[in-house]
């Protein structure tokens, strides 16, 4: 959705499935859940305005469900209404202070609203929370924030922290490689991407980035092989399309 990583819409839906059983039995909020699920579908399929309307209707019927407010915040963020997104994510946390991964969403919205220090504070609070189910996302987001501020050494440290928590997280390899390139350590960046390609062979993003690294290093045969792999792995994806475009202009 952005250059920031948040917990997926699918994860929100899965969490709702757990709460829906008790909720339907005790409060009769089936219609609110239907609205929420419709909102998830709209958001997933690129219709954020329709998603926003459905989340608002769900909240009107069941205002104390934190998942509904997270969905609302994601819809606002997709529409670039970051202050509204901040309010929605804060409401989700108010309703459930243990909903730790919402801090990743809140941090993202704060940063994109221009409140970078407050955003980084949310990422750090999430990372340090032992109940956080996705600390690798929190540390990756801290790396992204420092990278955008051109604090490349600190960014690299946070991307490494992300990989220490989850060696199968593609975004952390990509972020670390970018930070290392910015630090003038291109060979180390290539080695990082090679490790990522080994740990997460299904990541088209890593395959593409590794191909580009090989290309810059003059390793054209290796680059072509990686571009071909990326193109074949997900023919309709953005990374595959980029790989196909690069192959069109490849040296003969």
Residue 146 domain-assigned?
A: no
pLDDT at residue 207 above 50? yes
Residue 167 domain-assigned?
A: no
Mean pLDDT of 155-183: 97
Residue 241 domain-assigned?
A: no
pLDDT score at 197: 97
Residue 12 domain-assigned?
A: yes
What's the total number of domains in the chain? 1
Give the 3-state secondary structure of residue 213. Answer: helix
Provide the 10 A C-beta neighbour count for residue 183: 14
164 and 196 Cβ atoms separated by less than 8 Å = no
Average pLDDT, the chain: 88
Residues whose CB falls within 8 Å of the CB of residue 202, separated by 6 or more in sequence, listed in order: 233
Residue 86 domain-assigned?
A: yes
Rounded CA gap, 247 and 224, in Å?
A: 7
Residue 94 domain-assigned?
A: yes
244 and 207 Cβ atoms separated by less than 8 Å = no
pLDDT score at 12: 47
Quote the domain boundaries for residue 91.
Answer: 1-133
Rounded CA gap, 246 and 214, in Å?
A: 13
pLDDT digits (tens, 9 = 90+) for 74-98: 999 999 999 999 999 999 999 999 9
Give the residue from 117, 153, 149, 123 showing the smallest Cα distance to 136.
123
Entry field: residues in the chain: 252
Query: What percent of the chain is predicted at pLDDT more than 70?
Result: 88
What CATH number is attached to the domain comprising 95? 1.25.40.10
Residue 191 domain-assigned?
A: no
pLDDT at residue 134 above 80? yes
67 and 15 Cβ atoms separated by less than 8 Å = yes
Residue 27 domain-assigned?
A: yes
If you search the block for the tokens 């209707």, which residue do you land on? Answer: 57
The pTM of this model reads: 0.84
pLDDT digits (tens, 9 = 90+) for 3-55: 556 554 444 444 443 333 344 444 445 789 999 999 999 999 999 999 999 99
């Amino acid at each position: 959705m952005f250059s920031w990583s948040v917990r997926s819409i699918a994860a929100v839906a899965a969490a709702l499935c757990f709460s829906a059983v008790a909720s339907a039995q005790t409060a009769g909020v089936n219609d609110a859940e239907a609205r929420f699920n419709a909102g998830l579908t709209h958001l997933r399929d690129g219709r954020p305005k329709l998603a926003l309307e459905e989340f608002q209707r769900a909240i009107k019927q069941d205002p104390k469900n934190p998942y509904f407010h997270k969905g609302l915040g994601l819809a606002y963020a997709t529409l670039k209404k970051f202050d509204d997104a901040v309010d929605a994510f804060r409401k989700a946390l108010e309703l459930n202070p243990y909903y730790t991964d919402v801090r990743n969403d809140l941090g993202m919205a704060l940063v994109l609203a221009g409140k970078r220090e407050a955003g980084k504070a949310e990422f750090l609070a999430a990372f340090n929370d032992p109940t956080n189910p996705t600390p690798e996302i929190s540390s990756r987001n801290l790396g992204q924030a420092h990278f955008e501020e051109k604090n490349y050494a600190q960014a690299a440290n946070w991307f490494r922290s992300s990989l220490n928590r989850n060696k199968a997280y593609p975004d952390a390899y990509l972020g670390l490689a970018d930070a290392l390139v910015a630090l003038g350590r291109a060979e180390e960046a290539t080695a990082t991407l090679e490790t990522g390609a080994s740990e997460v062979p299904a990541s088209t993003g890593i395959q593409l980035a590794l191909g580009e690294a090989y290309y810059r290093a003059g390793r054209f045969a290796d680059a072509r092989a990686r571009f071909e792999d990326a193109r074949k792995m997900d023919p309709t994806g953005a990374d595959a399309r980029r790989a196909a475009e690069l192959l069109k202009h490849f040296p003969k």
